[in-house]
Chains A and B, each alone.
Chain A
Amino acid sequence: ETGVTQTPRHLVMGMTNKKSLKCEQHLGHNAMYWYKQSAKKPLELMFVYNFKEQTENNSVPSRFSPECPNSSHLFLHLHTLQPEDSALYLCASSQQGAEDQPQHFGDGTRLSIL
């Protein structure tokens, strides 16, 4: 149990579908992150939220739309995805302002685009 819960664990969707990934952290952190993990590539940072404000968008296509309603919840809304978007999507949280700020990860959502 890492304190960061992601749902669903697995998602299969067509290219025209709309779905959302959910992340919830129970660690009292104030920063949350979305990462993409594809085969044979390093983890790619997608978005950073600090105190509910988006502070980084790492050139992510607009078909990915993040939402952070409060410091405990983070969503990733998906629309008109492409086959190359199939990957493991990982959410993480940390305490911004703490000296070491280690990021704690959820178990991810395995996304497959048909």
Chain B
Amino acid sequence: DAKTTQPPSMDCAEGRAANLPCNHSTISGNEYVYWYRQIHSQGPQYIIHGLKNNETNEMASLIITEDRKSSTLILPHATLRDTAVYYCIVRVDQGGKLIFGQGTELSVKP
């Protein structure tokens, strides 16, 4: 199974861009990269996903390197409400099974 590696914690100033990195060097060609976040004591929330191309939605942007071995989630203007644990996940199978790593704890500070 493809595994992901993320830094355990990061800080970001409110209003600045938060760039969260993820390594997935064993990813296979048809596996998608997913990002979820979990605010304390709530269920994980979907943010964005991608295969090869960069993606953007109302929440974030996802930049995937050309060799697909790493990606970066960008929150363009972080707010205090973006403080959460962010999980980078490679989809394991067609059935939706996801293997969660430890994630990155992002602290947005005033």
A complexed with B: no
Chain A positions within 8 Å of B, measured between CB atoms, are none
- Interface residues, chain B, with chain A CB atoms under 8 Å away: none
